[in-house]
Each structure stands twice: as C-alpha cells, then as structure tokens.
Amino acid sequence: MRKFYATLVIFSDVLEHLRRPEKTLRRVSSFLKEDGFVLASIPNVTHLSVVLEIIQGRFLYNTIGLLDDTHLRFFCRDSVEQLFNSAGLRVCHWERVSIPPELTEFKSDLTSFPREFIEHLEILNPEHNTYQFVVLARMNTGLAEHITACLKEPGGEEETVSGGIGNRTIFDAARRARDREKSKDLEIARLRQVIKEKEQRIQELCRQGGS
C-alpha cells in the first residue's frame, strides 16, 4: 500500500477528547513530511474562571467550553509542550485565544473576591486569561526560530521552508482555526443574550399577571 505524507495536519479541538493523544500524535507524525507541521488548538484548564470554580469547591462539567463533558484530558501550557515532546514533536510557535473570566461560560464574578487576591492569582499564572492555546509543531527543530520570526510578520512576502509549505499558508491555517473559535464564542454570547432577554420577558409577564 502506498504511504502518503502530509505537509500540514490540523487538530482543531480534538486532542483533549482522546484517551491517549500522545499516541495519536506519534502515529500522525510518521506521516509528516520532513518539513511538515502539526497545527492544534487546545483548551487551557488553568484559565482563571476554572481556578475560581475550584477554589469555591466546584468542578462541574458543561456541554461546552473548558469543562466540556466530552473532554478526557485537560491541559496547561507545560502539559501541552510535554504532549508534543512525547510524540517527537516540538512546538515552534504559540498563539492564544484570550477571554476574560466574566465572559466565559462560568460568568465569573470577580467582585466577589478581594481584588488583591485576584491580582495575586494573575501574577502567579501568566495564562490566567488564555482560553485556548493554538500551537504549531514540527519534527525538525532546526528551523524553529526562523519559522517563529516569519510567523510574527504575516504581512511580509511568502517564503518557502526547505521547498515545503509556505509560511503564509501556515499562518492562514492558524488564523482560520482562531476565527472558527471566535465565531463559536460569538454565537455562545449571542445565545446567552437571547436567553437573558427571554428571561426578562417572562419576569415581566409574571409581574403583569400578578397585578
């Protein structure tokens, strides 16, 4: 059977749903070209909204978000890096989807905690607002610094790494992944607003009925 090799493999909100994601990554890496990449988006379980839930003695699963009830694995920045390293890959570029705690599915009320306490937690955890990591990893680490520098300049001319995929193509793939997540977040926010308006309408009808 002919074996096909890929230039780019995308895991968009996939790895956290697998029992052994490192095994899947190792398998996929065997199909990567020498200058191929893996692009992945992974939720950050150390987001401040989750930390505040745990501090209050809660770790409740949801149908969406950071504690999605279909998640089998949870990741912080260090464990994301360890995951890829265990598969023989190296993360050469990091991006983040940032959402403040009060706008997540937990609707965290920061005012219920002392401000000094919140500030202390934020200092301890630089990723406190990181809702999701978007990482780019590769097998050959020799060009990692060059790739990172190119990705920081998406407006520049497209270059080709070792005759392989262009940096513009890589950046566009990462941007599309982030855009999908932003669209999802906007839809969630819209639905919350619809629910809020309906709840207000119900309360208004109840008041009218009782008068």
pLDDT in 10s for each residue of the chain, 211 residues: 445 578 899 999 999 999 999 999 999 888 888 888 999 999 999 999 999 999 999 999 999 999 999 999 999 999 999 999 999 999 999 999 999 999 999 999 999 999 999 999 999 999 999 999 999 999 854 444 444 444 454 443 333 233 333 445 555 555 565 566 566 667 677 777 777 777 777 777 777 776 6
Task: Supply the DSSP string of 9-59, one letter for each residue.
Answer: EEEES-GGG-SSHHHHHHHHHTTEEEEEEEEEEEE-TT-HHHHHHHHTT--
Query: What per-residue string of b and e applies to 141-171 under the rule 16 or more CB within 10 Å gives b?
Result: eeebeebeebbeeeeeeeeebeebbebbebb
Q: Could you tell me if 22 and 79 are in contact, meaning their C-beta atoms sit under 8 angstroms apart? A: no
Confidence at residue 171, expressed as pLDDT on a 0 to 100 scale:
53
Confidence at residue 25, expressed as pLDDT on a 0 to 100 scale:
94
Confidence at residue 162, expressed as pLDDT on a 0 to 100 scale:
32
Single-letter residue type at 151: L
State the chain's maximal CA–CA distance in angstroms.
77
What angle do helix axes 77-86 and 21-29 make, rounded to 10 degrees? 50
pTM of this prediction exceeds 0.85: no
Pick from 15, 150, 119, 139: which is nearest to 74 by CA?
A: 15
Pick from 129, 157, 134, 159: which is nearest to 147 by CA?
A: 159
How many residues make up the chain in this entry? 211
Pick from 46, 53, 36, 49: which is nearest to 80 by CA?
A: 46
**Token pair for 201:** 């309408």
Residue 153, SS3 per DSSP: coil
